Structure 1
Amino acid sequence: MARWQGQLRGRPEGGRGGHRRDGGCGDGGARENRAFLRRAVSHIAQQGVTQFLDIGTGIPTAGNTHEVAQGVNPAAHVVYVDNDPILPGAVPGAYAGVGRKI
């Protein structure tokens, strides 16, 4: 079974998702990807942007978009979008307290 990028990125970053059989697949790139996301979101939030759209979210990990953006500006809003079929049941409550779910 092929893994979606979000599933591969989640595990090495301390996320609750991923699969044991994925092993070290994507570890280095995943860390670089998440580090870039944190730098970019932080920089943009510091410029006054308060609305974010995270497309291809994947399985939640440490340093999610809302955590970074709201760390700079607590009034920031984030919409997460993904079509990965395992996400709805993979991490129940991962975004609890973040806001509304649609």
Structure 2
Amino acid sequence: MTTIGDPTLCVDRARVRGAAARIAPAHSDFMDQHRAWYALVGTNLYYVRELLGQATGEPAPDVVTSRKILDALGFPVFALGYRDLLDHGHPAHRE
């Protein structure tokens, strides 16, 4: 179980898996340049903020916090990487 922010939102692996079952996974036909971070749940990738928002029923925290929470819960987290992103990372998502 991981808690988020103030007021505290609780999320665990079961809630994340349930959320993944209710939303569409990321798909190459619908890529969005503003959604650079993904979590692997089962065999599909999901945008980290949408996944946490669905899992908690509340607005998701920022991208950095979202990816750290999903990582802490044991879900593999991936970033979209090409060109400068591979060398320097996403400027809005560094930490």
Instruction: Please classify the TM superposition score into its range, dividing by the shorter chain length.
Output: under 0.3
Indicate the structure (1 or 2) with the bigger Cα radius of gyration. Answer: 1
Tell me the TM-score normalized by structure 1.
0.27
